[in-house]
Amino acid sequence: MPYTLNIGSIRCHIVSDGIQWSDGGGFFGLVPRILWEPIIRPDERNRIPVALRSLLIESDAGLILVDTGQGDKLGDREWRRFGMEPRLERLIGEMAEVGFGPEDVDVVLFTHLHSDHAGGATRWVDQNDPSSGLLPTFPNARYLAQRVEMAEATFPNERTRGTYFPQNWQPLQAAGLLELVDGDQRLAGGVHTQVVPGHTSSIQAVWVEDGGESLLFLGDTCSWAAHLDRLAWVPAFDILPMQSIEGKRRLRAQALERNTLLFFQHDGQVVTGRLGEGARGAEVRVEISEDPWADVTGE
């Protein structure tokens, strides 16, 4: 279900590529299950529901899409492992609900190039035939990625090669649509990125600011609201754990000062919230929530 928000005069839409089911240990790392289970209930296989949300921004530089979800190129084994519905165009369908098609997107920003963020950037020519070749999903868009992220995706190590897949970006390179950038970027009036190393060495968060209001797309700089409440809770996926903690600390301070609306990309329950003072210091107060168990079973 899409959500539409106005940040000052900038209209934003929260859209989703669905939910995938992943082992809870991945998102909570060294934290024992007995501590994180009260926050999100796992299924009998220790999997938790992981949202695949994206942000669509109507900006003065055109329509900006932040991240593209898993897309529809997964094989049957991956569909079963993630417990996802193998139906086409989940993200595209939600974009249509708010009035936009793939051809309307002017900029696609990759926060990073892991498959659950970049997989939807390309599609099969015949969406039912993997042998038909690949095309950019958003044919009129410029695709932006950090140069360091591109290098690490192109030459992955033993730990990262399972989440970087060239089919998600090579067709963009071949079409001349992929642009590499260095450091923080101004994408449009009131829209800019902030590099926050931790999850990867050049992952980007996205700020939308206008009229004294602000929204922060956290992405995997802080995957779940609980990670912002408890800085030491670092996902096993974060390749730079201490930098991840310090990055969240900086973002938390910035968001608290600006009363920022926080947008959580992967949290199965918390979509948005704001920081307030709690018993242990700053904590997330939920504004939009979802029940991941309402419509899916994870089977």
pLDDT value, residue 131: 80
Do the beta carbons of residue 103 and residue 139 sit within 8 Å? yes
Span 161-172, pLDDT tens digits: 999 999 999 999
pLDDT value, residue 217: 98
Task: Look up the CATH superfamily of 3-289.
Answer: Ribonuclease Z/Hydroxyacylglutathione hydrolase-like (3.60.15.10)
Beta partners for residue 108, in sequence order: 65, 143
Instruction: Look at phi and psi of residue 298 and say left if phi exceeds 0, alpha if psi is from -120 to 50, else beta.
Output: left
- Give residue 299's pLDDT band: very low, low, confident or very high (50, 70, 90): very low
pLDDT value, residue 279: 72
List the domain boundaries for the chain.
Answer: 3-289
Distance CA 145, CA 179 (A): 6
Three-class secondary structure of residue 72 per DSSP: coil
Distance CA 270, CA 164 (A): 27
Closest CA to 200 of 110, 140, 88, 107: 110
* Burial (0-12, 13-18, 19+ Cβ within 10 Å), 129: exposed
Q: For Cα atoms 16, 215, 107, give the angle at the middle one, nearest 5 degrees.
A: 60
Span 248-287, pLDDT tens digits: 999 999 999 999 999 999 999 999 999 998 777 789 999 9
pLDDT value, residue 127: 78
Q: What is the arithmetic mean of pLDDT over 101-110?
A: 98
CB-side neighbour CA atoms (13 Å) of 57: 31
pLDDT value, residue 296: 52
Span 157-198, pLDDT tens digits: 999 999 999 999 999 999 999 999 999 999 999 999 999 999
Evaluate if residue 297 carries a pLDDT over 60. Answer: no
Closest CA to 40 of 30, 55, 50: 50
Distance CA 199, CA 201 (A): 7
pLDDT value, residue 298: 42
Span 223-254, pLDDT tens digits: 999 999 999 999 999 999 999 999 999 999 99
pLDDT value, residue 198: 98
Identify the residue with better confidence: 128 or 262: 262
* Burial (0-12, 13-18, 19+ Cβ within 10 Å), 104: middle
- Give residue 293's pLDDT band: very low, low, confident or very high (50, 70, 90): confident
pLDDT value, residue 69: 97
Cβ of 297: how many Cβ atoms within 10 Å?
8
Closest CA to 143 of 190, 167, 165, 175: 175
Q: What is the arithmetic mean of pLDDT over 105-125?
A: 97
CB-side neighbour CA atoms (13 Å) of 84: 28
Evaluate if residue 78 carries a pLDDT over 90. Answer: no
DSSP 144-213: EEEHHHHHHHHS--TTTTTT--GGGTHHHHHTT-EEEE-S--EEETTEEEEE--SSSTT-EEEEEEETTE
pLDDT value, residue 295: 60
Two tokens, residue 258? 């600006």
Cβ of 4: how many Cβ atoms within 10 Å?
14
Q: What is the arithmetic mean of pLDDT over 85-99?
A: 88
Evaluate if residue 53 carries a pLDDT over 90. Answer: yes
Evaluate if residue 87 carries a pLDDT over 90. Answer: no
- Give residue 51's pLDDT band: very low, low, confident or very high (50, 70, 90): very high
